[in-house]
Amino acid sequence: GAGAFGRFAPRDEDADDDDDDGGDGASDGESESDSDSESDDDDTAALLAELERIKAERAKEAAEKAAAEQAAAEHARADELATGNPLLDLADGGSGAPANADFKTKRRWDDDVVFRNQARDAPKVGKRFINDTIRSDFHKRFLNKYIK
């Protein structure tokens, strides 16, 4: 069941240069390992410094993005508050009329009554003189006011 993975053989390209130097490796092996460990430490330090720089950049970008999103949310909330109330609609210059033409106030239940506001259009009855005190306008008003 190992398949192709069980027969893995390292290639010459993968081998380290230290093994192929052709010398006996006893005299200069220590100096190479010291320089390798120093360069490895330098490389590790450089990589860690680069990693910290990248983390700092990402944290800064995330903070800027969060601040921008918060500012956009506050701006959107302010816009919604300003335009949410049609009585405080500032887009029309403060005239009190709504800026959008499709705005309607809620209709009352008696808006479609046929005889609504009839009393406003009725002609005013002027004073008339009636010689009978019981049928006079003053007597009728007096009875309506004090008797009913």
Residue with more model confidence, 94 or 81: 81
For 124-132, which contacts have Cβ atoms below 8 Å and span 24 or more sequence positions?
none
The C-alpha atoms of residue 44 and residue 38 are separated, in whole angstroms, by: 10
Cβ atoms of 137 and 131 closer than 8 Å: no
* pLDDT higher than 90, residue 64: yes
Q: Residue 16's pLDDT band (boundaries 50, 70, 90)?
A: low
Give pTM, 2 decimals.
Answer: 0.33
Cβ atoms of 86 and 103 closer than 8 Å: yes
